[in-house]
Structure 1
């Protein structure tokens, strides 16, 4: 499970150091693609392949399906780590998520999100909203002990 948040810098070639605990969970392969919130998403190979199968079962005659396929697959690259644990984020993906020097690497359970520091700050403000927290925890329907 991917947990936590980490601040890292992109180097001048667009390489990002992935946290060691995340690299361990990605040893069997991973894919990087454009996320849904002006961010990037890193999926394990198994998750990406499951998403591929699900999208492939959708009707090609549906224009929204075709757009979704283009979003997910034309913007995807296989993640490969160099010997120091860095991954190259291609320019088109850096541009899509407005990534510059400082980025946030966020664990969100079964995947990782990569955000610009500014965009993540806006997300944090939403996450920390007391009404959101109350509604979110209430929706979990956790037993009270």
Structure 2
């Protein structure tokens, strides 16, 4: 799983250093695409195929489904980790982030990881520090013990 947050550099050629613990998870192939909330998403090939299958199953006559399809698939590129642990971020995705080079935040999300500018990530972190909002968020996550083990 992709877990944790790391700060890494995007060089002038658009290559982003990937955290060492994430690299082995990308060995079977990966894809990068535009994410939600002004970030990029990097998915293993297996997870990207699952997302693709879900998109393919959506009703093409639904305008929202078509927009989602365009958002994810027209911005998706296969990527490989080079010998020193970098991936190439395509130019249009760097433009989307608004950075030609510099520091970025790599944030694990379980099945995938996100790439953020530090300023946009700081905005996300501010949202995540709202105690009252977190109480409401966590109330939707049932953390009670299940009875399935005792049945």
Give the TM-score range, shorter chain.
over 0.9
The two structures have a TM-score, normalised by structure 2, of 0.90
Distance in 2, matches of 1:18 and 1:76, equals: 18
The count of residues paired between Structure 1 and Structure 2 equals: 144
Deviation at 1:138, TM superposition (A): 2.0
1:98 aligns with 2:128: no
Query: Hey, what does 2:86 align to over in structure 1?
Result: 86
Secondary structure class of the residue paired with 2:105: strand
Deviation at 1:14, TM superposition (A): 0.9
Deviation at 1:26, TM superposition (A): 1.3
Query: Hey, what does 1:17 align to over in structure 2?
Result: 17
What are the superposed Cα offsets for residues 85-124 of structure 1, whole Å, 9 maximum, x if unpaired?
A: 1001011001112234110000011110000010000000
The two structures have a TM-score, normalised by structure 1, of 0.94
The answer to whether the Cα contact below 8 Å between 2:128 and 2:134 also exists between their aligned partners in 1 is yes
Deviates more, 1:33-42 or 1:57-66: 57-66
Query: Hey, what does 1:62 align to over in structure 2?
Result: 62
Distance in 1, matches of 2:129 and 2:27, equals: 33
Structure ID, larger Rg: 2
Query: Hey, what does 2:149 align to over in structure 1?
Result: none
Query: Hey, what does 1:74 align to over in structure 2?
Result: 74
Any gaps of 5 or more consecutive residues in structure 2? Answer: 146-151
Query: Hey, what does 1:50 align to over in structure 2?
Result: 50
Deviates more, 1:12-21 or 1:51-60: 51-60
Distance in 2, matches of 1:121 and 1:110, equals: 22
What are the superposed Cα offsets for residues 66-101 of structure 1, whole Å, 9 maximum, x if unpaired?
A: 211111111000111111010010110011122341
Post-superposition, which runs of at least 4 consecutive aligned residues in structure 1 deviate over 6 A? none
The CA RMSD measured in Å over matched residues stands at 1.3
The answer to whether the Cα contact below 8 Å between 2:2 and 2:108 also exists between their aligned partners in 1 is yes
Distance in 1, matches of 2:18 and 2:39, equals: 16
